[in-house]
Chains A and B, each alone.
Chain A
Amino acid sequence: MNKKYVEQNIGFGALGLCVVVVALTLVVILWDIISKGSGVISWAFLTRPPSNGMTEGGIFPAIVGTFLVTLITAVLAVPLGMGCAIYLNEYAHDNRMTRLIRMSIRNLSGVPSIVYGLFGVVLFVQLMRIGTCVLAAGLTLGLMTLPWTITASEEALKNVPQSFRDGALALGATKWQTIRTNVLPYAVPGMLTGTILGLARAAGETAPILFTGAAFFLPFLPRSLFDQFMALPYHLYIMATQHHDIQAVRPIAYGTALVLIVLVFSMNLFAVIIRYRLRRLRRE
C-alpha cells in the first residue's frame, strides 16, 4: 500500500479516537449518575421534604422551587426575547443601532453566570428592595436567558419565507397585521422550541441564584414570590460539598443529580416534540 494512504489511515484513526473519547465521556457521565442515582429514586424521595438534618427524606421542595423559579424566568425572558427577535428580524434596518443591539446580545450571552448573580444582588435584592427571594432569583435567571431566547426566536423568524410577508403586504395589510397573521403563526413553534431549550439551561444554573434567593434548607414551600426557595441544582451543590456528613448523603446527592438531569432532558425532549408536532400540524 502507498505510504500516503498509510498516513491517511493513521490520521483518520486518530480523529476517530477523538470521537470515541467524546462519546465515552458522555457515556461515563450518564452511566455513573443513572446507575448510582436510580436506586435512590422512589415516590417518597420525590414527594417528601428532607428530614433529619437533610440526611434522609426527599427533595420535594427543591423540585417545586426549581419549577417555580423557571416559571418566573419564562415570564420575563419569553415575551421580551420574542419581542426583541421580532424587532430585529421584521422591523430593524441594518444601521448602527441595530448593530449595537446585536453586539449587546452576543456580549450578554458571554457574560459569566456569576456576574449575572452579582447584578441580581444589586439590582433586584438591594436597589429594588425585593430581598433574597424566588422572584429576585427568577428575574436574574430571566435576564441571563434573554440572549438565548432572542437568538432562538430570530432563527425561527428567519425560517419564514419572505414571500409570506410580501403576499400580505401586497394585499394591503399593515406591517403588524402581516407579522401577526402571516409570520408569527409559522414562527411560533420554532420560537417555542428554542425558548424551552434556553429555559432548560436556566433550570440547571446555580451561580445566579446563589445569592438572590436559593436557600440551604426550608421546611416549607415558598408561599409567595417573596419567600426564599430550595432549588435542585443548589441542593445538589449543598449535598456534594456543604453538608456536615458528605459521605452519608452521597446517595441523596446522586438522586438529586439524576432528577435534575431528567428534568433538563425532558424539557429538551418536550421542545423537540413541540417542534415536530406543530410542523406536522402545519402540513395538514
Chain B
Amino acid sequence: MKHIKEKLIHGLFFFNGFLVVVVLIGIFALLVFTSFPAFREISFKQFLFSSVWNPTSYVEPSYGIGAMLVSTLMVTLGALAIAIPLGIGTAAYLTDVASYRVREISKPIIEILAGIPSVVIGFLGIVLVGPAIAKVFNIPNGLNALNGSILLAVMALPTIISLSEDALNSVPRSFTEASLALGATRWQTAVRVKIPAAMSGIFASCMLGMGRAIGETMTVLMATGCAPAMPRSFLDSVRTMTSTIAIELGEVPYYTTHYYALFAVGLALFIITFFVNMISDTILNKYQIKAR
C-alpha cells in the first residue's frame, strides 16, 4: 500500500516535470499549425525576402518580413553595441577593482534595473530619450531605431553584467596569481588573462542579452515610431517583428490570411530566439564543464 502510494506520487511529479516539455512543444506546434494556412496564399519566397509588409492593401496585399527582420536586427545590434562594452566594463570593475562594499551595493542596483517593467522603460523612451535624441540630432522627433537601441541596452545590461561577473569570478585563482607573479599589473591581468579566460561565459551572456532584446516587445513598440518601411539609418523610424504583431493582432479578424501571417511572424521570432538561446546554452554548458 505504502509502495503504491510512493509510486503514484513519483508518477505525479514526473508528469508535472514532463509538462514543461509539453508546453514548449505545444507552443511550437500551435505556431506552426496557425501560421501554416498563411502559406496557401503567400509564397515562402515572398514572406522571407520581400521587404514590403502591407496586408491591408486593397490592390495587392503583400506579406514580406524583410524590413521588419532588418529592423529587429538593427535595433538589437545597436543595443548590443551599447550594452556589451558597458556590461563587460561594469562586470570587470565589480570583480577586479571594487571593494566589498561597492560590490554589495551594486547587486541590488542591478536587480532593481532588471525589475523595471519593459512598459515603463518604453514610456521613458517617449518622454526622456526621444526628446533628447531629437535635440541632439536636430530632427523633428526622436522615436527611431537609436531610441529603441538605447532602451534595449538598458534592458539587456542586467543580464550581461550578472552573467559576465559570474564568468569572471569562476576564472581559477591560479591564473590570476600566476599572472601577477610574473609581474603583470592587475589591469594587465584583467584584460589579458581574466577576460580571455572568461570569454566563452561572457559571450554566452551577450547572446542571452541578445535573445532578450530580439524578443522584447513593449519598449520597441513604444519608442521606435513603428513605420513599416526598410530603415536606412539609425535615425529612421523602424518597426520590428514584435511590434508588428503587437500593433496588428488586435485589429485583424480571426482566421484571415493576415491573421495567419502574423502567426508566421511569431513563428519566425520563436525560431530566431530559439537558436540564439541554444547557442548561448551550448557555450555555457561547455564552459561550465571546463571550469569544473
State the A residues within 8 Å of B (CB).
4-5, 7-8, 11-12, 14-19, 21-23, 25-26, 28-30, 32-33, 80, 83-84, 86-88, 90-92, 97, 100-101, 103-108, 110-119, 121-123, 126, 143, 146-147, 150, 174-176, 200-201, 203-207, 210-211, 233-234, 236-237, 240-241, 250, 253, 257, 260-261, 264-265, 268
- The reply to whether A264 and B242 form a contact with Cβ atoms under 8 Å apart is no
* Most chain B CB within a 10 A radius of its CB, from A87, A143, A264: A87
Interface: B19 (CB within 8 A): yes
State the B residues within 8 Å of A (CB).
2, 5-6, 9-10, 12-14, 16-21, 23-24, 26-27, 30-31, 34, 85-87, 89-90, 92-94, 96-98, 102, 106, 109-113, 115-124, 126-128, 154, 157, 161, 185-188, 190-191, 208, 211-212, 214-218, 221-222, 242, 245-246, 249-250, 254, 262-263, 266, 269-270, 273-274, 276-278, 281
- The reply to whether B93 and A16 form a contact with Cβ atoms under 8 Å apart is yes
Q: Which A residues touch B273, using CB under 8 A?
A: 110-112, 115
Q: Helix, strand, loop or mixed for chain A's interface?
A: helix
Q: Which A residues touch B262, using CB under 8 A?
A: 118
Which of B10, B23, B266 makes the CB contact (< 8 A) with A108? B23
Distance A257 CA – B124 CA, assembled complex (angstroms): 10
Distance A110 CA – B213 CA, assembled complex (angstroms): 11
Between A and B, 11 residue pairs with Cβ closer than 8 Å are A32-B124, A87-B16, A105-B20, A107-B24, A112-B242, A114-B246, A205-B118, A206-B118, A241-B126, A261-B120, A264-B115
Q: Which B residues touch A108, using CB under 8 A?
A: 20, 23-24, 27
Distance A124 CA – B246 CA, assembled complex (angstroms): 18
- The reply to whether B86 and A104 form a contact with Cβ atoms under 8 Å apart is no
B187 → chain A closest CB, angstroms: 4
Q: Which A residues touch B92, using CB under 8 A?
A: 15
Distance A100 CA – B24 CA, assembled complex (angstroms): 11
A207 with B211: in contact, given A122-B34, A126-B254 (CB under 8 Å)?
Answer: no
- The reply to whether B20 and A104 form a contact with Cβ atoms under 8 Å apart is yes
Q: Which B residues touch A22, using CB under 8 A?
A: 86, 90, 109-110, 113, 157, 161
- The reply to whether A91 and B118 form a contact with Cβ atoms under 8 Å apart is no
A240 with B23: in contact, given A12-B187, A101-B18, A115-B270 (CB under 8 Å)?
Answer: no
Which of A26, A80, A234, A237 makes the CB contact (< 8 A) with B222? A237
Q: Which A residues touch B5, using CB under 8 A?
A: 176
Distance A11 CA – B277 CA, assembled complex (angstroms): 32
- The reply to whether A237 and B187 form a contact with Cβ atoms under 8 Å apart is no
Which of A12, A25, A104, A261 makes the CB contact (< 8 A) with B117? A261
- The reply to whether B269 and A204 form a contact with Cβ atoms under 8 Å apart is no
Which of A25, A118, A147, A241 makes the CB contact (< 8 A) with B249? A118
Distance A97 CA – B19 CA, assembled complex (angstroms): 12
A261 with B116: in contact, given A119-B26, A143-B23 (CB under 8 Å)?
Answer: yes
Q: Which B residues touch A25, using CB under 8 A?
A: 113, 154, 157
Q: Which B residues touch A92, using CB under 8 A?
A: 14, 17
Q: Which B residue sits closest to A92, measured CB to CB?
A: B17
- The reply to whether B20 and A101 form a contact with Cβ atoms under 8 Å apart is yes
- The reply to whether A176 and B89 form a contact with Cβ atoms under 8 Å apart is no
Q: Which B residue sits closest to A18, measured CB to CB?
A: B89
- The reply to whether B27 and A111 form a contact with Cβ atoms under 8 Å apart is yes
A111 with B215: in contact, given A23-B109, A91-B14 (CB under 8 Å)?
Answer: yes
- The reply to whether B94 and A19 form a contact with Cβ atoms under 8 Å apart is yes
- The reply to whether A257 and B120 form a contact with Cβ atoms under 8 Å apart is yes
* Most chain B CB within a 10 A radius of its CB, from A32, A33, A206, A211: A206
- The reply to whether B89 and A204 form a contact with Cβ atoms under 8 Å apart is no
Distance A205 CA – B120 CA, assembled complex (angstroms): 10
Distance A260 CA – B124 CA, assembled complex (angstroms): 14
- The reply to whether A18 and B118 form a contact with Cβ atoms under 8 Å apart is no
